[in-house]
Chains A and B, each alone.
Chain A
Amino acid sequence: MLQGHQSWVFERKPVLLGTATVVGPFEGQGPLADDFDIIHGDLSVGQQSWEKAERTLLEEAVKLAIENAGLTKDQVQFYVGGDLTNQIISNSFAARSLSIPYLGVFGACSTSMESLALAAQLVDSGAARYVVAGTCSHNATAEKQYRYPTEYGSQKPPTAQFTVTGAGAAVVADKGEGPAVTRATIGRVVDMGIKDPFNLGAAMAPAAVDTIEAHLRDFRIEPGYYDVIATGDLSGVGHPLAKDLFRRHGIPIDQTHFTDCGLLIYDFEKQKVQAGASGCGCSAVVTYGHLLKRMRRGEIRRMLIVATGALLSPISYQQGESIPCIAHAVAIEAE
């Protein structure tokens, strides 16, 4: 149901019946390794192309999430998903083998929460009983499409971010045991005129702030309502910028634990990832793996995940266009 200007409240409290996360070797060396369901030792996941590898990660995550929910795939009505590849082939091709009725969505790295919000809305409105939301990214496919060949020796600036190899999926159900998806806020596209594709954190920070402020306004709450507010992939440059903006706008963000998925997944001492992590997979695996595990342990009662996406394409930035960005927020609460 509509709440305020751009938010939904899910009154039937759809639950996350099962989730799954699958990651690559580099993520498996990071501090959150214990929170992931499957860690692949091989970046190519035994496939012949990076694109096939990314698709395989997603297929595994979706199948495992359905299994973890105690369902079979013919019980699931819809699959909502998207990714970073051109024409979202990872999701569409995975949907081909899953053969679940499919809605493809694109919100760059915000797709993780865009798909979850839509899945929750479908269940809450009674349009479905079980919906799977899934997303994935692969370091090599993202590098190949947005930047340079993976083996090309270019020196990355300290503002650059490292795309996560991983896939996350969640089964949203109308009833059952599990954390509830209670609210969502759909973001506006915000463009502050940043043009540097190696500084996406700075480009995306205003979008995250805009969506969080809209969420607080629509629900008439303060940041302290949530134990954790986690942005998707602002990382080392964007996250402090978001804090600066909240301070300027007089929002008491310090009431809550304000963190970023892109800062959690890698060990900055040992893993050379410049500013931090990025990609659809980043917010998906950190949320469905790490943060939900913390919620099940009782360490978090309410959290707001604000997945951030940079809506650029290789053509748009080569033509000198600035980078439009978006953020979608979903609130998850312990049952």
Chain B
Amino acid sequence: MADPKKKKLSPVQQQYQELAKKREPRRPVLKNCLRAFVSGGTICLVGQAIQQMFIHWGGFPKEKASNPTVAVLILVSVILTSLGVYDKFAQWAGAGSAVPVTGFANAMASAAIEHRSEGVVLGIGGKMFKLAGPVIVFGTVTAFVVGICHWLFG
């Protein structure tokens, strides 16, 4: 009885949960990892190709080329979200489509589309960050902590 959550359950509940656990189809973790690796890697490869194009033909210096690259990837992701394709791709790709910047763009665009019917201000404006908000909040907090560490030990 190491798990404190389980202690609150009655014996009948515990018995049932064991049974339910046995009947629960497992998430195909290995397959999901492979798919995430392939799809996430492909998105990054495409991103790299776009960046090279901006360096070679766009006349961008190496340090500045990542900004237009991210903009292109976000645009593509938003278009695919609007066409109703991105969520289907994500069911296959899993983390591979969620982790790159395209996943972040999808989180914002999908919320904006979904809540459009509730108005431009409260619907789009208010609910656009429903899913992306935590990423920004905890990203900023993490950056702050890392910044302090860097200042102390760096």
Instruction: Enumerate chain A interface residues (CB-CB to B < 8 A).
Output: 48-51, 144, 148-159, 191-194, 199, 202, 205-206, 236-237, 240-241, 244-245, 272, 275
- B25/A202 in contact, CB under 8 A: no
- A149/B131 in contact, CB under 8 A: yes
Instruction: Enumerate chain B interface residues (CB-CB to A < 8 A).
Output: 9, 12-13, 16-17, 19-20, 23-28, 32, 81-82, 84, 86-87, 89-91, 93-95, 97-98, 103, 106-107, 109-111, 113-115, 117, 130-131
Please give, as numbers and ranges, the residues of chain A lying within 8 Å of B81 by CB-CB distance: 151, 153
B23's nearest neighbour on chain A, judged by CB, is: A241
- B131/A152 in contact, CB under 8 A: yes
Docked pose: A77 CA to B20 CA in angstroms: 44
Please give, as numbers and ranges, the residues of chain A lying within 8 Å of B103 by CB-CB distance: 153
Docked pose: A158 CA to B26 CA in angstroms: 7
- B98/A192 in contact, CB under 8 A: no
- A192/B16 in contact, CB under 8 A: yes
> Given A158-B27, A194-B17, A241-B20, list of 19 further CB < 8 A pairs?
A149-B111, A149-B131, A151-B86, A152-B90, A152-B106, A152-B111, A153-B89, A153-B97, A158-B26, A159-B24, A192-B13, A192-B16, A192-B20, A193-B16, A193-B17, A236-B25, A237-B20, A245-B19, A275-B25
Please give, as numbers and ranges, the residues of chain A lying within 8 Å of B97 by CB-CB distance: 153
Query: What are some 28 contacts across the A-B interface (CB < 8 A)?
Result: A49-B117, A149-B114, A149-B131, A150-B87, A151-B86, A151-B106, A151-B109, A151-B110, A151-B113, A152-B87, A152-B114, A152-B131, A153-B98, A155-B32, A155-B93, A155-B95, A156-B91, A157-B27, A158-B27, A159-B24, A193-B9, A194-B17, A202-B20, A206-B16, A236-B25, A241-B19, A244-B23, A245-B16
Docked pose: A159 CA to B13 CA in angstroms: 20
Docked pose: A192 CA to B27 CA in angstroms: 22
Describe B's contact surface by its main secondary structure. helix
B94's nearest neighbour on chain A, judged by CB, is: A155
Knowing A151-B84, A154-B90, A192-B13, the reply to whether A48 touches B117 (Cβ < 8 A) is: yes
Shortest C-beta distance, B34 to chain A (Å), equals 13
Describe A's contact surface by its main secondary structure. loop
Please give, as numbers and ranges, the residues of chain B lying within 8 Å of A157 by CB-CB distance: 27
Scoring B82, B84, B87, B111 by chain A CB atoms within 10 A of each residue's CB, the highest score goes to: B87
Docked pose: A66 CA to B117 CA in angstroms: 31
B32's nearest neighbour on chain A, judged by CB, is: A155
Scoring B16, B26, B131 by chain A CB atoms within 10 A of each residue's CB, the highest score goes to: B16
A241's nearest neighbour on chain B, judged by CB, is: B23
- A202/B23 in contact, CB under 8 A: yes
Please give, as numbers and ranges, the residues of chain A lying within 8 Å of B90 by CB-CB distance: 152-155
- B24/A202 in contact, CB under 8 A: yes
Please give, as numbers and ranges, the residues of chain B lying within 8 Å of A236 by CB-CB distance: 25
